[in-house]
A and B are shown apart, each in its own frame.
Chain A
Amino acid sequence: MTDKIISVKNLVKKFGTFTANDNLTFDVYKGEIFGFLGANGAGKTTTIRILCGLSSPTSGELKVAGFDVYRDAEKIKKNIGYMSQKFSLYEDLTVTENIQLFAGIYGISRKVRKEKEAELLKKLNLEEAKNKLIGGLPLGWKQKLAFSVAIFHDPKIVFLDEPTGGVDPVTRRRFWDLIYEAANNGTTIFVTTHYMDEAEYCNRVSIMDAGKIEALDTPANLKKMYNAKDMDEVFVKIAR
């Protein structure tokens, strides 16, 4: 894992006099599960919006999937996937309609879409539910489908913004099975979470506080560095 898929140098983002991102520098490698942690209001969402090409930095050099965030924001959008707890699928469309919509947006041909759609429905055990409205499905199913739709166009990177909030512990782990699988297939995973056990599943973790990255390393090294028994303790030591 030495190919950089995201490279961030001296990223600064200001809103008026408020500095949301204060000189961030970090790299994310291809195929990595990168945990992006921090307290509420630490500046995580600001960074993610910039990396997704939805907001421009005040200053700094940034490349995502090989593209410059200032010049090629549109190309970045085509090469990434995004899923959040708040928005993922259209509740009043059916399972297949949602897949078709997202495939259409990303310009996937009808033939390829049909093949992949059949494959996906089988994998998620959703064949019988394919004509049901999303709104009526259990949250765990929705989340798995939302993730699968987010990586349907084979993006190089997928951004997951608190993907597992509110679900039960079994569903949460089944969701991580999908993340592991995608990472194993070479997709880079950029994930935020408030569950500290999930931080342990990441290859590397960065912890933000008040707009700055306070720590960035493997979970094992962070625990050693902060003399902590788990990531929860590391997080509390940094963010409190």
Chain B
Amino acid sequence: MITINNISKSYNKTEALKDISLNVNRGELFGLIGADGAGKTTLMRIVTTLLLPDSGEAKMDGLDIKKDFKKIRHIIGYMPGRFSLYQDLSVEENLQFFATVFGTTVEANYDLIRDIYYQIEPFKNRRAGKLSGGMKQKLALSCALIHKPKILVLDEPTTGVDAVSRKEFWEMLKKLQQKDITILVSTPYMDEAILCDRVALLQNGQILDVDSPTKIIEKFQRKIFQVRSDNMYQLISDLRKFENAESVFAFGQFVHFTGINDSVKADELDKYLQSLGHKNILVEKITPGIEDVFMELMEGSRSFQSQ
């Protein structure tokens, strides 16, 4: 449904995208996962025909992003990272405006947006600029959907959104997927990566890996321990001083520890921490999560670059 071949894009000297290729299948919920500056927005702006690549080709449902840009704009819905609806128009006026621009009516496609729009319908006469963050997000999604697009492109729809609203938003995306809409979504949240069918991990304009989240985790062979003791700050700094420590990072209530060449054993760490006076020590080997994998891939490519 989306094919991207060897796309590169630079802004002056900064290479935002370096020879990116990837495919998104029809009906897929595909995630672009990466931090600020990874190149997610640039890639989205290119496939939505808002920006031309320096080189490479891309097609949306068989249409070329350069030759067929007008046609592409009719079959995609795009929700940019920054709120870009008309602040001075009311909720209802914004929705009507977008429907009219695409030559349709709110009534014709109301079915598609009903589940989302009914939550903000009580405020339909309020100006968009006066809505709360969560409501703005729902209105923006409704406007992006009102012409019944085949492909929905969402740029960090959940950044700055609280944990509960994020969960609700992803439930909405899953429902839209059922209605035969292909979704390309970007996020800096690793827990959202798990909810995608497939993801591309992006860093510094390059793809570190593309696969289903489960396969990405399966491929990862490192031995990771979760460690806990009563003093978190002391624990992190002591573990970093351990001679065979490779990476030591806080993960919620635990610290995740990877040893050089995976040579470190659990009882070794336990003894080491005991000798330093830590109390209530727990060291156990765990199955890594997507965040562990991403961090390892990132660190790997970082040290590669600095060499």
Contacts and interface: CB of A to CB of B under 8 A. Distances in A.
Interface in B156-197: 156, 159-167, 188-191
A201 B236 CA distance: 12
Contacts of B56: none
A140 B203 CA distance: 13
Interface stretch (B20-28, B122-130, B248-256): B248-256
B132 interface: yes
Interface in B62-79: none
Contacts of A173: 249-250
A239 B188 contact: no
A40 B233 contact: no
B61 interface: no
B73 to A, nearest CB: 28
A196 interface: yes
Contact of B161 (A40, A196, A220, A232): A40
Nearest to A177: B236
A200 B252 contact: yes
B164 A168 contact: no
A147 to B, nearest CB: 16
A11 B116 CA distance: 35
Nearest to A171: B35
A162 to B, nearest CB: 7
Interface in A20-69: 38-42
B295 A169 contact: yes
Given A139-B37, A168-B35, A236 B295 contact: no
A88 to B, nearest CB: 14
Nearest to A179: B233
Interface in A116-175: 138-140, 162, 165-171, 173
A166 B163 contact: no
B233 A184 contact: yes
A237 to B, nearest CB: 10
B211 interface: no
A138 B252 CA distance: 25
B227 to A, nearest CB: 14
Interface string B92-117: 00000000000000000000000000
A184 B36 CA distance: 29
A220 B156 CA distance: 31
Contact-residue bracket for chain A: 35 or more
A170 to B, nearest CB: 5
A239 B35 contact: no
B160 A165 contact: yes
Contacts of A184: 233
A231 interface: yes
B251 A239 contact: no
B28 to A, nearest CB: 24
Contacts of B250: 173, 176, 197, 201
Contact of B134 (A40, A138, A231): A40
Contacts of A231: 252
B217 interface: no
A177 B248 CA distance: 11
Given A167-B188, A180-B233, A184-B233, A40 B162 contact: yes
Contact of A219 (B37, B38, B188, B253): B253
A82 interface: no
Contacts of B37: 138-139
A152 B191 CA distance: 34
Contact of B298 (A170, A177, A230): A170
A8 interface: no
A159 to B, nearest CB: 17
A180 B236 contact: yes
Interface of B: 34-38, 132-134, 156, 159-167, 188-191, 203, 232-233, 236, 249-253, 291, 294-295, 298-299
14 contacts: A40-B161, A139-B36, A166-B159, A166-B188, A167-B188, A168-B36, A168-B298, A196-B163, A196-B252, A197-B251, A201-B250, A231-B252, A232-B163, A239-B164
Interface of A: 38-42, 85, 138-140, 162, 165-171, 173, 176-177, 180-181, 183-184, 194-197, 200-201, 219-220, 230-232, 235-236, 239-240
